[in-house]
Amino acid sequence: MINEETFLGSVQDVNGTTVSVSLSKESLTGFVYIDGQGYRIGQIGSFIRIPIGFTDLFGIISQVGASSIPENKTENQPNGNRWMTIQLIGEGQRTGMFQRGISQYPTIGDEVHLISEKELERIYGQPNKPYFVKLGHIANAESIPALIDVNKLVTRHSAILGTTGSGKSTTVASILNALSNDKNYPSARILILDIHGEYSQALHDRAEIFKIGANKTAKYKENELYIPFWALNFNELCEMSFGEFNNEKDRNIILERIQKYKESSLKNYPKNGANIDALSVDSPIPFNLNKLWYQLYLETFGTYYKSNSGKPYDNLAYEVDSNGKELVGDAENGIPPIFKNPKNDAGDPEKINYLPSSLNIGKQLSLLGSKLRIPRYDFIFKPGEWSPEEDGKVSKDLDSLLESWIGCSKPITIIDLSGVPNDILNTIIGVVLRILYEALFWARDLAQGGRHRPLLLVMEEAHIYLNDLFKGIASRTVQRIVKEGRKYGIGAMIVSQRPSEINSTILSQCGTFFALRLTNATDRGHITAALPDNLDGLTNMLPILRTGEAIILGEAVKLPMRTLIQAPPKDKRPDSQDPIIYEDTPNPVEDSQHTGGWGIPMEEHPVYEELAETWRAQNPHIERLINNLNQKIMERKSVSSSNIQSIGYDSSSETLEVEFLNGGIYQYFDIPEQVFEKLMGAGSHGKYLANNIKGKYRYSKV
């Protein structure tokens, strides 16, 4: 035997990549020492090697005990229940070079050896190589860093999967912190679709944040999110604004009108790369949607005085208000005109008829008109400097939009979609992804194209919009990205708690998996089916993983590894922690860094009007809070405390602002100035806050 210490047994059966091993009598204790390090024999998920000449085959222990006995040996088993099942995963030279797949199989009688920590380090470790990033360490070998190959991670796609509370968001934050290291990757380019607004807190120092209703004076800079409606293709625009059409004729009418408006705009303001002959209704050319809506509204609902001379459009029959002013509406603000009802009474000289050739798209125009008036849709229908004037002129074009998203000075861009109305969320995600994909696809040979500066797209809560039940644009676009994106430098990172609900095509194209704790058998089955290796034994471990522990396997790692992810500092973690019911601290009164929970008394007169306000506004921040912040930045003073970082006060609005050491910032309302002064002068700021402010005054998180 080559090494008595590491020898486990010999091969007795080979079936494809599954090998059955009979353990030797010498390993009866189940515990061995190698180079002073103790190892338990037969641990599920541990590695073994099978020496064959100058090559070592590597495998993972997936099963131990009587159930591992090959069927043809169940009746005559010389070694009782001392068997192991191994899944082969790759091979390597004795120099330590490892490669996936095997060029030869073991045969009966080949020796099977335990892999020591030194051998693992030789296989795993190349921490000095800049294309490897460290995410933590191997779970059963703290001295071995968990290294991920950036080249394989980004463009070969990846998936981070785990049940709620398993540490998904923290794992994503750790990966993105490593990938955005400006020393190793000064030109990194990452874009996050943040559905719930979790990542701004964790990555604000290295990310540009785009958000609907951006707070310009927040703790970290936020930019207003705009997605110009004219950058959408025709199908997307119809889904977003007009809804479904009754028939193809009505749809074609809208198509032809938009085509004409874009042609007119292009004639007025020519653009490089676009010409009238090649222009299509899907071309991203600015045009005035409000003007189009108003004109179609006239044609659909308009009435005119038939008895008057002249053309019908010169004699429109508007209603009048109490001052005798015609109610002609306002195209810019989405206010429709109001027309008189038709009348053809025999004795009445005033005849009013509908306009000739009136359209039958009233329902669609009413829907679009309501969206043009609702502020929640302004980010798309009134996109700031990307809003076209009546003739199609815009202050900013697509180049500035793309530059702000993927060309900013910071390596990460966060698209915070928490303020997007649910009815258009799927479409908006699809639009953002399509715009980015098409831009990088056509610019593939340019310096800022995907081939020369790849883009990583991180898709949080992917099961919401990549579900098999949805045939929307988001799912179709991501399927295209995972199939073709590698060739054009566009990589996808899918993050989800329900892998069973994600389109199977998308999941099967992911080359690397970060599998955290998963208790649902259906979800585990989908991961097993999508894995690039025959590693059923490892997926059976998923229900017992600790929080923040992941099994990483696939193309970005040399060997599958059970890893403890190194979490970022507490103030740099995503805002996705569970709400505190009762805080468990040595001194809950003074050391608490939370304002709520069941252990803190409620204020005497809760204000539920503010709860209704946030619901109606579809915005978690109440108007009072926003106004305070927009008037001026609250100046806070650092204090010496075990739980409070700084305190500020605005006397004009009687608003107290407290920043805790964990990064949370809260504003308390209607705080008398003398209470603030006592708080600042107290021997224990945390104790005074807990005894005199918490539970007595209402508050809101900033």
* Cα gap 599→589, rounded to integer Å: 10
Mean pLDDT of 651-655: 88
Mean pLDDT of 239-262: 93
Identify the weakest region by mean pLDDT among 252-266, 401-415, 631-645. 631-645
Opening angle at CA 541, ends 535 and 542, nearest 5: 100
Q: Are 67 and 84 in contact (CB under 8 A)?
A: no
Position 120 scores a pLDDT of 79
pTM score, two decimals?
0.84
Q: How many Cα atoms sit within 13 Å of 279 on the Cβ side?
A: 23
Q: Which residue has the higher pLDDT, 462 or 632?
A: 462
* Cα gap 528→62, rounded to integer Å: 13
Mean pLDDT of 654-662: 87
* Cα gap 503→346, rounded to integer Å: 64
How much helix, strand and coil, in percent to the nearest 5, is found in the chain? Answer: 35, 25, 45
Is the pLDDT assigned to residue 532 strictly greater than 70? no
Is the pLDDT assigned to residue 93 strictly greater than 50? yes
- Give the pLDDT band of residue 429 (cuts 50, 70, 90): very high
Q: Are 24 and 10 in contact (CB under 8 A)?
A: yes
Position 624 scores a pLDDT of 65
Position 625 scores a pLDDT of 62
Tens-digit pLDDT profile for residues 318-377: 999 989 899 999 999 999 999 999 988 777 778 888 888 778 899 999 999 999 999 889
* Cα gap 665→701, rounded to integer Å: 6
Q: Please give the single-letter amino acid code of residue 327.
A: L
Position 80 scores a pLDDT of 58
Position 279 scores a pLDDT of 93
Residue 436, CA distances (Å) to 44, 271, 381, 432, 440 in order: 43, 20, 20, 6, 6
* Cα gap 272→429, rounded to integer Å: 27
Tens-digit pLDDT profile for residues 533-572: 566 667 778 888 899 999 998 889 877 888 999 988 877 7
* Cα gap 148→452, rounded to integer Å: 21
- What residues contact residue 615 under an 8 Å CB cut-off, 6+ apart? none
Backbone angles phi, psi at 381, to 5 degrees: -95, -15
Residue 58, CA distances (Å) to 113, 435, 499, 551 in order: 10, 44, 29, 17
- Give the pLDDT band of residue 165 (cuts 50, 70, 90): confident
Position 626 scores a pLDDT of 42
Mean pLDDT of 390-409: 94
Residue 582, CA distances (Å) to 376, 543, 573, 586, 661 in order: 36, 26, 21, 12, 19
Identify the weakest region by mean pLDDT among 103-117, 461-475, 528-542. 528-542
Q: Which residue has the higher pLDDT, 47 or 208?
A: 208
Is the pLDDT assigned to residue 173 strictly greater than 70? yes
- H-state helical runs in 415-513: 422-442, 473-484, 504-508
Position 628 scores a pLDDT of 42
Identify the H or E element spanning 196. none
Mean pLDDT of 498-527: 90
Label each residue of 332-365 as H, E or C: CCCECCCECCCECCCCCCCCEEECCCCCCCHHHH
Position 21 scores a pLDDT of 92
CA proximity to 641, closest of 582, 590, 570? 590
Is the pLDDT assigned to residue 423 strictly greater than 60? yes
Identify the weakest region by mean pLDDT among 22-36, 80-94, 441-455, 596-610. 22-36
Position 627 scores a pLDDT of 45
Position 378 scores a pLDDT of 94
Mean pLDDT of 136-162: 90
| Structure tokens, 680 | 């600042």
Q: Are 306 and 353 in contact (CB under 8 A)?
A: yes
Q: Are 574 and 173 in contact (CB under 8 A)?
A: yes
Position 185 scores a pLDDT of 93
Q: What's the chain's length in residues?
A: 702
Label each residue of 36-88 as H, E or C: CEEEECCCCCCEEEEEECCEEEEEEEEEECHHHCCHHHCCCCCCCCCEEEEEE
Position 63 scores a pLDDT of 84
Is the pLDDT assigned to residue 663 strictly greater than 80? no
Q: Are 47 and 120 in contact (CB under 8 A)?
A: yes
Q: Are 22 and 109 in contact (CB under 8 A)?
A: no
Position 301 scores a pLDDT of 92
Helix axes 473-484, 422-442, angle to 10 degrees: 30
Opening angle at CA 13, ends 8 and 17, nearest 5: 90
Backbone angles phi, psi at 495, to 5 degrees: -120, 125
- Give the pLDDT band of residue 623 (cuts 50, 70, 90): low
Mean pLDDT of 246-262: 93
Mean pLDDT of 30-48: 74
Mean pLDDT of 623-635: 58
Phi-psi region of 515 (alpha: psi -120 to 50; beta: other; left: phi over 0): beta
Position 96 scores a pLDDT of 61
Tens-digit pLDDT profile for residues 475-493: 999 999 999 999 999 999 9
Supply the mean pLDDT for the chain: 86
Percent of the chain surpassing pLDDT 70: 90
Position 1 scores a pLDDT of 45
CA proximity to 416, closest of 149, 136, 237, 201? 201
Position 27 scores a pLDDT of 63
- Give the pLDDT band of residue 253 (cuts 50, 70, 90): very high
Label each residue of 125-185 as H, E or C: CCCCCCCEEEEEEECCEEEEEEEEEHHHHHHCCEEEECCCCCCHHHHHHHHHHHHCCCCCC
- What residues contact residue 94 under an 8 Å CB cut-off, 6+ apart? 54, 55, 56
- The residue behind tokens 């060997």 is 559
Mean pLDDT of 385-402: 95
Q: Which residue has the higher pLDDT, 677 or 574?
A: 677
* Cα gap 613→624, rounded to integer Å: 11
Opening angle at CA 400, ends 395 and 401, nearest 5: 100
Position 381 scores a pLDDT of 96
Position 629 scores a pLDDT of 44
| Structure tokens, 311 | 């053309």
Residue 210, CA distances (Å) to 284, 288, 653 in order: 21, 24, 29
Position 587 scores a pLDDT of 64
Is the pLDDT assigned to residue 99 strictly greater than 60? yes
- Mapped onto helix, strand or coil, the DSSP state of residue 305 is strand
Percent of the chain surpassing pLDDT 90: 47
Mean pLDDT of 644-657: 90
CA proximity to 388, closest of 291, 294, 296, 297? 291
Is the pLDDT assigned to residue 574 strictly greater than 90? no
Q: What domains are defined for the chain?
A: 7-124 (no CATH), 146-228+383-571 (3.40.50.300), 234-377 (no CATH), 579-701 (no CATH)
Is the pLDDT assigned to residue 630 strictly greater than 50? no
- The residue behind tokens 């073991």 is 106
